[in-house]
């Protein structure tokens, strides 16, 4: 009889939800998948041998740990938010510390928010008014202006649940602005991290659950909009139309919610619903979107709307969005745009 | 032009549609039109060759026992002197079929009709000048782009996502993989295209859902970073590298042998493309859209071989350790004496034991993950 041992994977994190939902994959010495699970579940019984454990961390990165399973000692793989630090690409503030001196970066203005703190790693912003539009921060980086949409959370009960950070990312050939969810917005931060680290397919189930959690609660509408966009992009949003209706109705400052609802209504069999969707789309695209993907979706919808209605308005809105799209940092999750006249 | 693979009579097959455009007569050269000249775009040097090399990989290396390759519909518009893959060129009778709008329309329509069973698989690869308007959309310019014969500027262009969406049809290929490799244009050019319509896409939007149809959209920020002197686009280089084993993963629920999955590609390609582009001083992104559930894009007969390199730290340790390497901690693997330890071995998990003799013997154990593309580790002695 083959000897066996126990393997468990757990998360050390302040979020109960993340502690119990992060997915992991176990491969044996031939790198065949022999098990999948979510953290917080029961220990797995495995034949003695070498195994790799791949998991998505609370920051949305991947981590990999190699272990030996033997009968004598149960193996306990612990995932923390710092796990996998060397496995992925840039990941915000920890990696950006002390790098700001390498480029000339000046905060030149804000809209609908206030600068709370500024340190070597970046800038932290918070809401200072009832939001009616997406808050922004504008920077001058090496002589060019960049404006970042800020996913603030006016619903946050404490200050660090309401804020977001902007950091400099110097890993690309040009300096970029990295807009990050702050530490206390843990589910939003995990979704954002998975998008930035290309873990979307590996963590599809986690994304699905995270987005559902965000959409189902009213605690962080900006993060919920990101979850909704992600679900839509991967064809998993239709069954959540009620939540998107709420997001679009109750958080008018986030145009992405109405854009998402328009996307759901676009192929409705009822012409009145399609007309409602087009109305939402035309209305939403008067303002700056919060997310790059929100702008991409809006552009796509305006270009491909199935009916011939309101063609002139659609063309005008496409022109308006083109002002953002022609100088956009497509790698950024939050919408970050430059000035066309500085790039010609 | 249809290239058929002889002797394929399986109930389910793979169909491929490949387009590569380097030659833009209405943008660059004696036939340049006024509207083409205004854009300031030049011919490319490597798009058609890249498409021909991807086709050669399909014809000679692609392996999918449950749905073998049946045919490739291939349209190539090379510039003078562009070296196409010789095998592919020969299969085209020495004369590639140009990638005009009419040809793309005819061949893509036939491709859609050929993908007639949910068990079929579809692979699409399109490369050329492009307008990636967003991470959700891309337009690739065809040979007759900017022709004076048509009023619409985008007449000679292919709407990649529009074509992708049209493939969401009932009864069609349920597993698809799409790759669009476009040279991204300057902002003032992108701006001109934002509100334009007219690029080729089939008339009917698919209303069904296929099981999986990821689309990898790659776009370079600069034309001179689009290709390297060897003549392949950066994205094509990275994709072929990945498909030839660098992105291989072991058996799992989706495939009973070593394979390249779209989920692994989604991790490997962005990093590889970015590194290759940055070596040329540019940025290049890979965006994933479509329906990115897992698709097996390539399968392997045997586990791949992986280059393993293990250094000792400090490198001047005296005496140097003696290494013993075991697959799964059991099966002894022969290693040459000396450090760094270098060998090529079957992919898998290994245990390395490094023993330092002498007056103060020390032993270090390290587990190694020899997963493609390579395994590079270090054994630290205090």
Q: pLDDT category, B262, cuts 50, 70, 90?
A: very high
When CB atoms are compared, the residue of B207, B252, B293 closest to A33 is: B252
Q: Do A31 and B162 touch (CB under 8 A)?
A: no
| Domain extents in chain B | 2-299, 305-380
When CB atoms are compared, the residue of B195, B347, B349 closest to A315 is: B195
Q: Determine contact, residues B277/B271, Cβ cutoff 8 Å.
A: no
Q: Is the pLDDT of residue B220 over 70?
A: no
Average pLDDT over residues A236-254: 89
pLDDT at B283: 73
pLDDT at A176: 85
Q: Which of B350, B351, B352, B347 is nearest to B371 (CA)?
A: B347
pLDDT at B289: 80
Average pLDDT over residues B75-90: 96
Diameter over CA atoms, chain A: 75
Which of A77, A198, A297 is the mutation pick for testing B, counting most B CBs within 10 A?
A198
Q: Do B271 and A235 touch (CB under 8 A)?
A: no
Segment 174-203 of chain A within 8 Å of chain B by CB? 174, 198-202
Q: Which of B190, B180, B176, B131 is nearest to B160 (CA)?
A: B180
Q: Do B134 and A330 touch (CB under 8 A)?
A: yes
pLDDT at B290: 79
Which of B211, B349, B373 is the mutation pick for testing A, counting most A CBs within 10 A?
B349
Average pLDDT over residues B95-123: 96
**What top-level class would CATH report for the domain B2-299?**
alpha beta
Q: Do B194 and A322 touch (CB under 8 A)?
A: yes
CA distance A203 to A24: 9
Closest CA of chain A from B263, distance in Å: 5
Q: Do A31 and B303 touch (CB under 8 A)?
A: yes
Set of chain B residues whose Cβ sits within 8 Å of the Cβ of A295: 134
B-chain residue closest to A296, CA distance: B134
Q: Do A343 and B187 touch (CB under 8 A)?
A: yes
Set of chain B residues whose Cβ sits within 8 Å of the Cβ of A65: none
What is the sign, positive or negative, of the torsion defined by CA atoms of A125, A128, A131, A133? Answer: negative
pLDDT at B366: 96
Q: Which of B74-88, B131-145, B176-190, B273-287 has the highest mean pLDDT?
A: B74-88
What is the sign, positive or negative, of the torsion defined by CA atoms of A83, B284, A336, A98? Answer: positive
Which range among A36-45, A228-237, A270-279, B19-28 shows the weakest confidence by mean pLDDT?
A228-237
The fold of B305-380 is Immunoglobulin-like (2.60.40)
A-chain residue closest to B352, CA distance: A50
- Residue A198, CA distances (Å) to A78, A169, A207 in order: 22, 17, 12
B-chain residue closest to A327, CA distance: B187
CA distance B140 to B99: 11
Per residue, the 3-state secondary structure of B346-366, as one string, reads ECEEEEEEEEECCCCCEEEEE
Is residue B60 exposed (0-12), middle (13-18) or buried (19+ Cβ within 10 Å)? exposed
Q: What is the mean pLDDT of chain B?
A: 89
Q: Do A202 and B350 touch (CB under 8 A)?
A: no
A62 touches chain B (CB under 8 A): yes
Give the residue with greater pLDDT, A273 vs B357. Answer: A273
DSSP A47-92: ESEEEEEEEE-TTS-EEEEEEEE-SSS-EEEEE-TTTTTTTSS--T
Q: Is the pLDDT of residue B223 over 70?
A: no
A89 touches chain B (CB under 8 A): yes
Set of chain B residues whose Cβ sits within 8 Å of the Cβ of A308: none
pLDDT at A201: 64
pLDDT tens for B320-372 read: 999 999 999 999 999 999 999 999 999 999 999 999 988 889 999 999 999 99
Q: Is the pLDDT of residue B312 over 80?
A: yes
CA distance B63 to B92: 22
Number of residue pairs across A and B with CB atoms under 8 Å? 157
What percent of the residues of chain B are helix, what percent strand, and what percent coil, each to the nearest 5? Answer: 25, 35, 40
Q: Do B194 and A319 touch (CB under 8 A)?
A: yes
Closest CA of chain B from A202, distance in Å: 6
Q: pLDDT category, B185, cuts 50, 70, 90?
A: low
Q: Side-chain half-sphere of B165: how many Cα atoms within 13 Å?
A: 20
Closest CA of chain A from B121, distance in Å: 20
CA distance B182 to B284: 10
Residue A41 in tokens: 């579940």
Give the residue with greater pLDDT, B199 vs A298. Answer: A298
pLDDT at A173: 66
Alpha helices in chain B (DSSP H): 34-39, 47-60, 86-91, 101-114, 160-166, 187-193, 234-241, 262-279
Q: Do B136 and A296 touch (CB under 8 A)?
A: yes
Q: Determine contact, residues B128/B46, Cβ cutoff 8 Å.
A: no
Q: Do A325 and B209 touch (CB under 8 A)?
A: no
Q: pLDDT category, A257, cuts 50, 70, 90?
A: very high
Q: pLDDT category, B82, cuts 50, 70, 90?
A: very high
CA distance A113 to A179: 14
CA distance A322 to B133: 9
Q: Do A201 and B136 touch (CB under 8 A)?
A: no
Average pLDDT over residues B48-66: 97
User: CB atoms < 10 A from the CB of A36, how many?
Assistant: 14
When CB atoms are compared, the residue of B270, B281, B348 closest to A29 is: B348
Set of chain A residues whose Cβ sits within 8 Å of the Cβ of B267: 62, 198-199, 201-202
Residues 6+ apart with CB under 8 A from A332: A148, A176, A177, A178, A179, A292
B-chain residue closest to A344, CA distance: B188
CA distance A288 to A266: 21
Q: Which of A328, A316, A301 is nearest to A146 (CA)?
A: A328
Backbone angles phi, psi at B284, to 5 degrees: -145, 130
Q: Is the pLDDT of residue B265 over 50?
A: yes
Q: Do A326 and B278 touch (CB under 8 A)?
A: no
pLDDT at B352: 97
A300 touches chain B (CB under 8 A): yes
When CB atoms are compared, the residue of A29, A66, A340 closest to B327 is: A29
Closest CA of chain B from A217, distance in Å: 26
Q: Determine contact, residues B158/B21, Cβ cutoff 8 Å.
A: no
Percent of the residues in chain A that have a pLDDT greater than 90, as a whole number: 47
- Residue A344, CA distances (Å) to A138, B187, B194 in order: 20, 7, 17
pLDDT tens for B32-41 read: 999 999 888 8
Closest CA of chain B from A290, distance in Å: 15
Which of A7, A26, A29 is the mutation pick for testing B, counting most B CBs within 10 A?
A29
pLDDT tens for B298-307 read: 999 999 999 9
pLDDT tens for B348-358 read: 999 999 999 88
Residue A168 in tokens: 């400099």
Set of chain B residues whose Cβ sits within 8 Å of the Cβ of A238: none
Per residue, the 3-state secondary structure of A285-336, as one string, reads CCCCCCEHHHHHHHHHHHHHCCCCCCHHHHHHHHHHHHHHHCCECCCCCECE
Instruction: Report the side by side order of strands in the sheet with A144-149.
Output: A105-111, A136-141, A144-149, A336-338
Per DSSP, the three-state class of A162 is helix
Q: Which of A157, A181, A191, A185 is nearest to A15 (CA)?
A: A185
Set of chain B residues whose Cβ sits within 8 Å of the Cβ of A343: 186-187
Which letter does DSSP use for residue B208 in this model?
S
B-chain residue closest to A306, CA distance: B205
pLDDT at A233: 80
Give the residue with greater pLDDT, A16 vs B78. Answer: B78
Q: What was the ipTM of the complex prediction?
A: 0.89
Q: pLDDT category, A96, cuts 50, 70, 90?
A: very low
B182-210 burial code (b ≥16 CB/10 A, e <16): bbbbbbebbbbbbbbebbbbbeeebeeeb
Set of chain A residues whose Cβ sits within 8 Å of the Cβ of B134: 292, 295-296, 299-300, 325, 328, 330
pLDDT tens for A274-330 read: 999 999 999 999 999 999 999 999 998 998 888 888 888 998 998 888 888 778 888
Q: Domains (ranges, CATH) in chain A?
A: 4-79 (2.60.40.10), 89-344 (no CATH)
B-chain residue closest to A231, CA distance: B291
Q: Do B283 and A172 touch (CB under 8 A)?
A: yes
pLDDT at A97: 39
CA distance A195 to A329: 14
What is the sign, positive or negative, of the torsion defined by CA atoms of A214, A216, A218, A221? Answer: positive
Q: Do A33 and B287 touch (CB under 8 A)?
A: no
pLDDT at B226: 58
pLDDT at A284: 97
Per DSSP, the three-state class of B206 is coil
A30 touches chain B (CB under 8 A): yes
pLDDT at A99: 43
Q: Do B251 and A322 touch (CB under 8 A)?
A: no
pLDDT at A88: 39
Set of chain B residues whose Cβ sits within 8 Å of the Cβ of A173: 278, 281-283
Give the residue with greater pLDDT, A214 vs B228. Answer: A214
pLDDT tens for B131-164 read: 776 777 888 999 999 999 998 888 999 999 889 9
Q: Determine contact, residues A112/A134, Cβ cutoff 8 Å.
A: yes
Average pLDDT over residues A250-257: 95
DSSP B89-152: HHHTTT-PPP--HHHHHHHHHHHHHH--STT-EEEEEEEEEEEEEETTEEEEE-TTTT-TTSS-
Residue B324 in tokens: 């013993």
Diameter over CA atoms, chain B: 86
When CB atoms are compared, the residue of A202, A318, A340 closest to B195 is: A318
């Amino acid at each position: 009889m083959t000897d066996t041992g126990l393997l468990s994977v757990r998360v050390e994190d302040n979020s109960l939800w993340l502690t119990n939902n992060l997915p992991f994959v176990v491969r044996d010495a031939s790198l065949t998948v022999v098990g999948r699970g979510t953290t917080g579940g029961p220990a797995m019984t495995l034949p003695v041998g070498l195994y790799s454990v791949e998991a998505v961390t609370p920051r949305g990165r991947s981590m990999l740990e190699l272990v030996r399973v033997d009968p004598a000692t149960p193996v306990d793989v612990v995932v923390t938010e710092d796990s996998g630090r060397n496995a992925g690409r840039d990941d915000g503030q920890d990696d950006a510390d002390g790098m700001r001196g390498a480029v000339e970066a000046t905060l030149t203005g804000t809209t609908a928010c206030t600068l709370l703190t500024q340190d070597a790693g970046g800038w932290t912003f918070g809401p200072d008014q009832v939001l009616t539009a997406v808050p922004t921060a504008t920077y001058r980086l090496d002589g060019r202006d960049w404006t970042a949409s800020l996913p603030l959370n006016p619903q946050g009960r404490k200050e660090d649940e309401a804020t977001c950070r902007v950091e400099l990312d110097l890993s690309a050939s040009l300096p970029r602005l990295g807009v990050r969810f702050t530490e206390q917005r843990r589910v939003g931060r995990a979704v954002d991290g998975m998008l930035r680290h290309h873990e979307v397919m590996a963590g599809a189930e986690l994304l699905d659950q995270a987005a559902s959690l965000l959409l189902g609660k009213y605690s962080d509408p900006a993060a919920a909009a990101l979850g909704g966009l992600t679900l839509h992009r991967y064809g998993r949003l239709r069954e959540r139309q009620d939540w998107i209706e709420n997001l679009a109705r109750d958080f008018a400052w986030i145009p992405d919610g109405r854009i998402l609802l328009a996307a759901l209504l676009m192929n409705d069999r009822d012409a009145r619903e399609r007309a409602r969707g087009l109305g939402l789309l035309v209305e939403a695209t008067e303002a700056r979107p919060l997310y790059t993907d929100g702008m991409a979706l809006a552009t796509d919808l305006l270009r491909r709307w199935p009916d011939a209605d309101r063609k002139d308005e659609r063309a005008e809105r496409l022109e308006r969005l083109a002002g953002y799209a022609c100088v956009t940092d497509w790698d950024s999750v939050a919408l970050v745009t430059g000035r066309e006249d500085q790039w010609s | 032009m249809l290239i058929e693979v002889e002797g394929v009579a399986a109930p389910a097959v793979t169909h491929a549609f490949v387009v590569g455009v380097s030659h833009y007569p209405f943008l660059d050269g004696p036939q340049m039109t006024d509207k083409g000249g205004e854009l300031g775009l030049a011919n490319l040097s490597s798009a058609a060759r890249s498409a021909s090399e991807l086709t050669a990989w399909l014809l000679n290396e692609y392996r999918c026992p449950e749905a073998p390759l049946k045919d490739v519909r291939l349209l190539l518009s090379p510039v003078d002197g562009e070296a196409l893959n010789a095998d592919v060129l020969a299969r085209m009778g020495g004369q590639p079929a140009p990638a005009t709008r009419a040809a793309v329309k005819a061949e893509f329509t036939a491709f859609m009709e050929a993908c007639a069973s949910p068990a079929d698989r579809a692979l699409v690869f399109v490369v050329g000048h492009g307008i990636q308007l967003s991470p959700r959309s891309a337009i690739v310019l065809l040979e007759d782009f900017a022709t004076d014969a048509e009023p619409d500027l985008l007449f000679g262009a292919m709407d990649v996502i529009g074509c992708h969406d049209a493939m969401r049809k009932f009864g069609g290929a349920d597993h698809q993989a799409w790759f669009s490799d476009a040279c991204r244009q300057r902002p003032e050019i992108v701006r001109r295209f934002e509100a334009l319509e007219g690029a080729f896409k089939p008339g009917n939007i698919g209303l069904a859902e296929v099981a999986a149809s990821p689309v990898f959209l790659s776009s370079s920020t600069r034309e001179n970073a689009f290709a390297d002197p060897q003549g392949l686009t950066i994205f094509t280089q990275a994709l072929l590298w990945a498909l030839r084993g660098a992105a291989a993963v072991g058996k799992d629920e989706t495939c009973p042998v070593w394979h390249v999955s779209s989920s692994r590609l989604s991790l490997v390609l962005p990093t590889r493309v970015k590194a290759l582009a940055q070596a040329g001083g540019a940025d290049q992104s890979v965006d994933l859209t479509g329906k990115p559930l897992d698709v097996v894009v390539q399968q392997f007969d045997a586990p791949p071989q992986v280059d393993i390199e293990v250094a000792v730290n400090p490198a001047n340790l005296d005496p140097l350790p003696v290494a013993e390497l075991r697959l799964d901690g059991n099966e002894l693997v022969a290693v040459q004496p000396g450090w760094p330890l270098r060998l090529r071995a079957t992919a898998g998990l290994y245990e390395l034991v490094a023993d330092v003799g002498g007056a103060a013997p020390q032993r270090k154990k390290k587990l190694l993950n020899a997963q493609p593309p390579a395994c590079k580790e270090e054994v630290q002695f205090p």
